[in-house]
Amino acid sequence: MTTVKFPDDFKWGTATAAYQIEGAYDEGNRAPSIWDTFAKTPGKVLNGDTGDVACDSYHRIDEDIRLLKELNVDVYRFSIAWPRIIPQGRGEVNAEGIAYYEELIDKLIANGIEPFVTLYHWDLPQSLQDEGGWENRATIDAFVAYSEAVFHAFNGKVKKWITLNEPWCISILSNYIGEHAPGKQDLQTALDVAHHILVAHGKSVKRFRELAIEGEIGYAPNTEWRTPYSTSPEDVLATQLRSGSFNEWFLSPVLKGEYPELLMNWYEKKGFTVKIEPGDMDIISQPIDFLGINYYTGSFIRHASGNDIFDSEEISSSLGKTDFNWNIYADGFYQVLSWITATYGQIPIYITENGACYEADLVDGKVNDEARINFLRDHIMALHRAISSGVPVKGYMVWSLMDNFEWAFGYSKPFGLVHIDFNTLERTPKESYYWYKQLSSSNQLEV
Ligand code: JSK
């Protein structure tokens, strides 16, 4: 056995999101979000599951904080629901919404756990969607006003802020592929949404600086690592396009102030445009303090004429699969982190999500999810390799603290360190919880 030690100031944590765990969908003056609407639209979510109750975390602050405390984590990443703070999207701030998150934040701090807050984790107020949602540039200023209300409410208590979670999911998955809310399937709409949320990100960062809010601000794109099936120019191009549309498209505007040229030209050749207004790129590329990186998987890509807009296809490989049928690609984690630092420089990075879906039954009070332990161990080893080679990673958060509402797949895809019985809402730490507790307590891995 060898011991792999992490830097002394390295932060260990876990992550959740409002719509996936809170429930209490119609309490505390909360108004519907696009996910309330989408989940209640027949056929959109597996088994007709909704976030109406979820893990009922809205009513279980003390219970969830006990789990975090016993897990001995340094940080807890959660999201604030815009529909609880400004229920109509614009206008009056809801005191009950502020009070709920203030209680959560105060109790986290009292228990020595640093709150890591995501402002937007996909739950856009439905009233804004009724006005066009993120397709409408006016939603940008609504987001800035919402951000400002939250900045003011928790300034000095929250010192790590994330504007957006997974902009690729907000734009492409939700408006081109159509798997997430609002479920549109139009690439031009998706590119418009992508641009507007990036401008919204930049204007929120700008406001954060103008208001001299304490702490640091960043954002959390999801990344995947794609490897060409062969060195043929066609396979390499297909990989660069598929990968670029997922990674660079959401990193380069923020970190370089420009969209990746290869993709821009490719979209234009296909008849799609990005409507950039004067000053947009300067706003988008407001300097951020850290980069949140979500990483789950990767794949091998080859040329396939007409298969998708990039003439690309993912090919099956010998990589293992999680119970979500996602490739297990731990080396891809090392590769993508190394590529980010090589491409964008030494911006501090927090791993804001990494984890896996594995099913495991509760038997005699225990959940033996050894597969999740193996996944986490392999990925945390890859993370250590990246840190050892100079990638400035400052912390790591497992997705997720608890089993929760996995969007279009409802409650069928467990990612938690804690098992949730969705009939009783009883919480049971899994074997991976105890494994991770040992890691977060010792700051080292025995391999
Ligand atoms: C997990 C990525 C935030 C938190 C977790 C889903 C995801 C995804 C899910 C890609 C995807 C679907 C579907 C089909 C075909 C082309 C959540 N993260 N999570 N992260 N990423 N795909 N190209 N990649 O629940 O809320 O694609 O797309």
- pLDDT by residue (tens digit) across 355-378? 999 999 999 999 999 999 999 999
pLDDT > 90? residue 180: yes
The best mutation among 22, 122, 166, 404 to test binding of ligand 1, ranked by most ligand atoms within 8 Å of the C-beta, falls on 166
* Confidence check: pLDDT of 70 > 90: yes
Task: For residues 422 and 119, give the distance between their C-alpha atoms in angstroms, rounded to a whole number.
Answer: 26
Per-residue confidence band for 290, with pLDDT thresholds at 50, 70 and 90: very high
Angle at which helices 187-210 and 138-154 cross, to 10°? 40
Global pTM reads 0.98
User: In this model, does residue 17 exceed pLDDT 90?
Assistant: yes
Residue 377 confidence (pLDDT): 98
- How close are the terminal C-alpha atoms of the chain, in Å? 5
CA dihedral (155, 157, 161, 165) positive or negative: negative
* pLDDT confidence of residue 430: 98
What does the pLDDT read at residue 2? 87
In the predicted model, what is the mean pLDDT of residues 266-281? 98
Q: What percent of the chain has pLDDT over 70?
A: 100
What are the structural domains of the chain?
Answer: 3-442 (3.20.20.80)
Contact (CB, 8 A) for 19 and 122: yes
Q: What are the pLDDT digits (tens) for 99-129?
A: 999 999 999 999 999 999 999 999 999 999 9
- The residue to mutate among 21, 79, 122, 173, having the most atoms of ligand 1 within 8 angstroms of its beta carbon, is 173
Strands (E), 131-207: 160-165
- Annotated catalytic, 166? yes
CB atoms within 10 A of CB 303: 21
34-62, pLDDT tens digit by residue? 999 999 999 999 999 999 999 999 999 99
Instruction: Point out the catalytic residue in the list 135, 166, 248, 406.
Output: 166
309 lines ligand 1 (CB under 6 A): no
CA distance 85 to 91: 10
Mean pLDDT of 411-435: 98
**149 CA → ligand 1 middle, Å:** 29
pLDDT at 447 over 90: no
Tell me the pLDDT band of 136, cut-offs 50, 70 and 90.
very high
pLDDT at 316: 87
Calculate how far, in angstroms, residue 267's C-alpha sits from the geometric centre of ligand 1: 22
Contact predicate 163/221, CB 8 Å: no
Q: Report pLDDT for 404.
A: 99
Residue nearest to atom 2 of ligand 1 (CA): 169
Helices (H), 186-247: 187-210, 233-246
CA of 29 to the centre of ligand 1 (A): 30
pLDDT, tens digit, 9 for 90 and up, residues 393-403: 999 999 999 99
Residue 123: CB within 6 Å of ligand 1? no
Measured by CA distance, the residue closest to atom 12 of ligand 1 is 173
The mean predicted confidence, pLDDT, of the chain is: 98
Q: Which residues of 310-347 are buried (b: 16+ CB within 10 A; e: fewer)?
A: bbbbbeeeebeebbbebbbbbbbbbbbbbbbbeebeeb
Burial class (CB in 10 A: 0-12, 13-18, 19+), 393: buried
What is the mean pLDDT of the segment spanning 303-317? 96
